[in-house]
Structure 1
Amino acid sequence: MENIKTKMLRKEDPSIYATKDAHLKRTLTTKDFLALGVGTIVSATIFTLPGDVAAKHAGPAVILSFIGAAIVAGLVAFAYAEMASAMPFAGSAYSWINIIFGEFFGWIAGWALLAEYFIAVAFVGAGFSANFRGLISPLGLQLPKSLANAFGTDGGIIDITAAVVILLAAALLSMGVSKASRVENILVVAKVLAILVFIAVGATAIHVRNYFPFIPKYHANPDGSAFGGWQGVYTGVSMIFLSYVGFDSIAANSAEAKDPQKTMPRGILGSLIIAVTLFVAVALVLVGMFKYTAYANNAEPVGWALRQSNHETVAVVVQAVAVLGMFTALIGMMLAGSRLIYSFGRDGLLPRWLGKLDHAQRPNRALLILTLGAVVIGAIFPFGTLAQLISAGTLIAFMFVTLGIYGLRKREGKDIAEPGFKMPFYPVLPLLGFLGSLLVFLGLSRNAKIYSLVWFVIGLLIYFGYGISHSFLNKK
């Protein structure tokens, strides 16, 4: 038993990761990371969640839900910025926690993040499919239900559009991160411009009466969740938090960053600031255009609100760019997820061939596994279920990272390099980041918690059945 405990708590030497990741080409700049972060964070959720959460839980106070979620995400982002600056290694939280707390805790944090990446890729693919089908429907083009919906959902067998777009994103990434980043930069600019157009045009159709009552009276929904009152705002925070989780995808690519001590903090914090501003502005305009009840069960509230305000042309343009913009989120999540799987293979916790690079020094084997997994998950689970599952694993990883700051500070300037950025108001903010993440996790749906428990049981079986005995760290 002592031997197993020793193996579980053995910590990796940061210089080993620096050597192992040296083959990855450092080509990404601050501009690339800003585009990657904004492209990943500002994805399908900005066009769907503000209306949905307002109608089901918070009313006009959905704006407070967005701000509350942003505060927690901001606290965690500070921790991520310091970690990525001090330890710019592939795998982000997995590699960091492996160094700070030991291999077992690193595996738990990494396994949690892997759930996010698998599910988020499937989720964005499904969102792309829904919006794309809504865009072509007025043209008389419609897919049969068997090819338009997930297996077992309204006669569906596979969402073929989601599968194809995931495969296309994988094909682009397999050509190299520099090519993908150029496409990402162009699409992100187009998407942000489309959002700004909606904000400008939608602001002309705002009716102040729609903001009142700002916090509706509380009552329980039929499914047991909260609507109205501060309970509804809190439920909204937990639902909306998934909108901001994409900033961790930046850190996963820190091994490919130029001058990571500067580029990583700028990319992580800068992209989150831009994303929060856009989310709050969209929510403010959307609930002002029509009473929040109008957005109940509306899968495309932004396009609907523009059409109902007699801005049909603008609606088509915004939705078309939004569909293209979702491709940027796929690129970001697949880039991060493939680097995480590569890290597992690199360290022997999963089969070592996953940690091998191709002739051009790209982790395309790991990318293949992520792609196939996301296509299968997207084919099985419907869009709504996927949305509930993304935040759970991510929040667990966030709790590890915020607590990890305490262990990191003791080693900075010793065996770990002095970072170019440090989390302010230490030791208070790391604790607040941990408590905020815990509160958001407790507000998740019961199903999300059950699915995350099942995922972690699978992770424990893999670790104790394979990882602990094949780990390169434990073989040294």
Structure 2
Amino acid sequence: MALHSPTPASAPGRLRLRKSIQQIESESQDHGLHRTLGPIQLMMLGIGSTIGAGIYVMTGTAAAEYAGPAILLSFLVAGLACLFTALSYGELASTMPVSGSAYSYAYVSMGEGAAWAVGWLLLLEYGVSCAGVAAGFSGYATSLLHDLGVHVPAFISTTLVQTQPTVHGASLLVAPRLDLVGAASVLLVTFLLVLGIQESARINTLVVFVKVGVLLLFLAFGLRYIHPSYLEPFIPPREDGFHYGVPGIFRAASVIFFAYVGFETVSTASAEARNPRRDVPLGIIGSLLICTLIYMCVAVVLIGVVPFRRLNVADPLAIAVDAIGQPWLALLIKVGAVIGLCSVILGLLYGQTRIFFTIARDGLLPKIFCRLHPTFRTPWIGTILLGLVVAAATATLPIDIISDLVSLGTAAAFGIVCFTVIWQRNARPDLARPFSVPLGGVRVGGVWIGLVPSLGILFCLIMAGPLFLDMIRALADGNPLPALLLGGYIVLGVLGYVLYGHSHSHLGRDKRTATV
């Protein structure tokens, strides 16, 4: 099946210009990065990038505000959305073992315009969420230092912008302060990434063992203190909007979707994997399954030892440990959170630098993002620039103002990944697939429709739906902030392509068409 793009002279045609799979494979051979990562390191990268602010911060908010004990069902819904996407990622990574993740896949299936849009969405998923994770790090680090007798002034541990609840949602408060603690964590991780992925992967693997060990210790002690009465009613009666009831389960799922951001970071490491066709699918699916199991077990203990309405705090696990009555364990939990969140920052920032590396090689971003260090063979200047931008966002923006945007961007990117599997199966049915999505599919009018990728698209819509509805509701109540943030981000993305990407695209400049 051959798909021919219109000539680059037409602006709409330029947006539909596609790369061929042959181009993608050719580019993967001369990227200049070191192939040093094995399957265990890839899985540790996925776990390290995933277990973070979602479980340490967002779980409490989702339970207290939306789902109650039914947060377990919310984790199941969000986990299924990610599982279907992970299986789709696995097939694409086995056929196109390239850096760039969903951006590269979209360039093949839907063209340059869609690829740029996905790349911009991935900036939400990786770069912006990295700032949110660093904000979580700052909260736990400040609390830990306080327990050790070190007082960190609020003006260097609180963001410039804060949100204040009102009857119409939230309002913004601006004061002369910066979260320098969170910003410092981003700059430290940036330094490690400049040195090289092999060195960063070793540190990440050690950190993963520490933070998973601390969570297992929390489970071992917490199981003995669960109050069955705290789990009843399992689904609290619905109040207004998405507060409790069945709607609350899905709204909570869209919130904790943030907790799953990171597992597909493994796909961005394809260019640095020793055997990407085999190891990347294993890393993606394995890390997701391990993280989901840990999440659900921790959630059972969390809502079993503390009434769920008390969990809308920045450190819900610390509240749970206080209820258990083990001060030493509370200290250990905070140490695990601080160390663990550092590994999440590392994974997310790594993923973002590799995506920008790929976009810059295509000419849609300045070349500075793909310039390699002569010794470390890392995109060092681009890494430093991104690190500075994320550090600035960490110092100024609170986590609750960006988490919904991150979930929206992630759901959109995941849906495109699932669609790409369907497109590629129809465009190149002859392509070798070392890993294929299970359960097969059906043919409708000669077009193959896979069950797993279709379910992935459906669940991504389920994740995004409550977020959009809440945004519309806030707008109707006189709070335009969420809509303005989303609209502003979209406008910036469009301007980025129009003012730079469109005129510098290698595919457009060479006046080539992509034939698949």
What TM-score do you get using the length of structure 1 for normalisation? 0.95
Corresponding residue of 2:66: 57
1:118-129 pair list within 5 angstroms: 118-129=127-138
For 2:60, give the aligned amino acid: G
What is the rounded CA distance, in whole Å, between the counterparts of 1:434 and 1:127 in structure 2? 30
Find out whether 1:9 has 2:16 as its counterpart: yes
Corresponding residue of 1:438: 461
What is the rounded CA distance, in whole Å, between the counterparts of 1:247 and 1:139 in structure 2? 33
The size of the alignment, in residue pairs, is 469
Identity value in percent: 31
Deviations 1:305-330 (A, max 9, x none): 11222111111112212211111101
What is the rounded CA distance, in whole Å, between the counterparts of 1:262 and 1:152 in structure 2? 45
Find out whether 1:391 has 2:407 as its counterpart: yes
Asked if structure 2 preserves the Cα contact closer than 8 Å seen for 1:41 and 1:245, the reply is yes
Corresponding residue of 2:374: 359
What is the rounded CA distance, in whole Å, between the counterparts of 1:448 and 1:40 in structure 2? 26
What is the rounded CA distance, in whole Å, between the counterparts of 1:115 and 1:308 in structure 2? 36
What is the rounded CA distance, in whole Å, between the counterparts of 2:384 and 2:65 in structure 1? 38
What is the rounded CA distance, in whole Å, between the counterparts of 2:374 and 2:336 in structure 1? 35
Asked if structure 2 preserves the Cα contact closer than 8 Å seen for 1:149 and 1:156, the reply is no
More helix by share: 1
Corresponding residue of 2:348: 333
For 2:331, give the aligned amino acid: V
Corresponding residue of 1:470: 504
Corresponding residue of 1:192: 212
Find out whether 1:270 has 2:286 as its counterpart: yes
What is the rounded CA distance, in whole Å, between the counterparts of 1:449 and 1:49 in structure 2? 21
Corresponding residue of 2:56: 47
After alignment, is 13-22 or 453-462 more displaced? Answer: 13-22
Corresponding residue of 2:334: 319
Residue 413 (structure 1) shift: 6.6
Corresponding residue of 1:206: 226
For 2:133, give the aligned amino acid: V
**What's the Cα RMSD here?**
1.7
**Match of 1:204, SS?**
helix
For 2:99, give the aligned amino acid: A
1:145-224 pair list within 5 angstroms: 145-153=154-162, 155-220=175-240
Asked if structure 2 preserves the Cα contact closer than 8 Å seen for 1:59 and 1:214, the reply is yes
Corresponding residue of 1:369: 385
**Match of 1:56, SS?**
helix
For 2:226, give the aligned amino acid: I
For 2:437, give the aligned amino acid: M
Residue 113 (structure 1) shift: 0.5
For 2:310, give the aligned amino acid: A
For 1:125, give the aligned amino acid: A
Residue 196 (structure 1) shift: 0.4
**Match of 1:246, SS?**
coil
Corresponding residue of 2:267: 251
Residue 418 (structure 1) shift: 1.7
After alignment, is 111-120 or 18-27 more displaced? Answer: 18-27
Residue 344 (structure 1) shift: 1.6
What is the rounded CA distance, in whole Å, between the counterparts of 2:161 and 2:17 in structure 1? 45
Asked if structure 2 preserves the Cα contact closer than 8 Å seen for 1:147 and 1:156, the reply is no
Find out whether 1:294 has 2:317 as its counterpart: no
Residue 236 (structure 1) shift: 0.5
Q: Where does the alignment leave 5 or more consecutive residues of structure 1 unmatched?
A: none
Find out whether 1:420 has 2:434 as its counterpart: yes
What is the rounded CA distance, in whole Å, between the counterparts of 1:92 and 1:383 in structure 2? 25
1:68-147 pair list within 5 angstroms: 68-147=77-156
What is the rounded CA distance, in whole Å, between the counterparts of 1:289 and 1:89 in structure 2? 45
Residue 38 (structure 1) shift: 0.6
What is the rounded CA distance, in whole Å, between the counterparts of 1:452 and 1:428 in structure 2? 31
**Match of 1:274, SS?**
helix
For 2:508, give the aligned amino acid: N
What is the rounded CA distance, in whole Å, between the counterparts of 2:50 and 2:419 in structure 1? 24
**Match of 2:402, SS?**
helix
What is the rounded CA distance, in whole Å, between the counterparts of 1:353 and 1:209 in structure 2? 58
With over 3 angstroms needed to count, the CA separation of the structure-2 counterparts of 1:150 and 1:349, relative to structure 1, is: same
With over 3 angstroms needed to count, the CA separation of the structure-2 counterparts of 1:100 and 1:152, relative to structure 1, is: closer
Q: Where does the alignment leave 5 or more consecutive residues of structure 2 unmatched?
A: 1-7, 163-172, 442-449, 472-480, 511-516
**Match of 1:258, SS?**
coil
What is the rounded CA distance, in whole Å, between the counterparts of 1:453 and 1:274 in structure 2? 36
What is the rounded CA distance, in whole Å, between the counterparts of 1:449 and 1:384 in structure 2? 14
What is the rounded CA distance, in whole Å, between the counterparts of 1:354 and 1:461 in structure 2? 19
Residue 93 (structure 1) shift: 0.7
Residue 395 (structure 1) shift: 1.3
With over 3 angstroms needed to count, the CA separation of the structure-2 counterparts of 1:227 and 1:413, relative to structure 1, is: closer
What TM-score do you get using the length of structure 2 for normalisation? 0.88
What is the rounded CA distance, in whole Å, between the counterparts of 1:450 and 1:255 in structure 2? 37
What is the rounded CA distance, in whole Å, between the counterparts of 1:436 and 1:453 in structure 2? 24
Residue 449 (structure 1) shift: 5.3
Asked if structure 2 preserves the Cα contact closer than 8 Å seen for 1:403 and 1:431, the reply is yes
What is the rounded CA distance, in whole Å, between the counterparts of 1:456 and 1:472 in structure 2? 23
Residue 2 (structure 1) shift: 6.3
What is the rounded CA distance, in whole Å, between the counterparts of 1:440 and 1:11 in structure 2? 29
For 2:383, give the aligned amino acid: L
**Match of 1:158, SS?**
coil
**Match of 2:193, SS?**
helix
For 1:164, give the aligned amino acid: A
For 1:434, give the aligned amino acid: I
For 2:224, give the aligned amino acid: T
Residue 139 (structure 1) shift: 3.1
Residue 359 (structure 1) shift: 0.7
What is the rounded CA distance, in whole Å, between the counterparts of 1:25 and 1:46 in structure 2? 33
Corresponding residue of 2:277: 261
Residue 24 (structure 1) shift: 1.4
Asked if structure 1 preserves the Cα contact closer than 8 Å seen for 2:49 and 2:345, the reply is yes
